[in-house]
Amino acid sequence: MTKIDQKILDELAELEVNALLQGLTDPDMRKNPSFLEKVRKFLQQNRLQTQPETPGVSRVKQAAEDIPEFEEIN
């Protein structure tokens, strides 16, 4: 197994986080389900969880409540 300098690993992790943040600020990327899945996977892998107090969570919850329910058409 190759040993990688911790500074390089830290820089790589920082670049990954910056790329995800940059994607989330892009209007097209933040609507892309495959990109959002990568963000969720990153958060899960790094054990980062949102709390009700996390900024923005209440807006997401409100937006989800405003989504209309559609009846099934057979």
Structure confidence at residue 7 (pLDDT) = 92
3-state secondary structure (DSSP) of residue 57: helix
19 token code pair: 């790329």
Structure confidence at residue 49 (pLDDT) = 67
Structure confidence at residue 37 (pLDDT) = 87
DSSP letter at 28? T
Q: What are phi and psi of 73, to 5 degrees?
A: -110, 125
List the chain domain ranges: 6-65
pLDDT band at 60 (very low <50, low <70, confident <90, very high): low
DSSP letter at 73? -
Q: What are phi and psi of 70, to 5 degrees?
A: -105, 140
pTM higher than 0.95 for the full model? no
7-46 pLDDT per residue, tens: 998 898 888 988 988 998 898 888 888 988 888 888 888 7
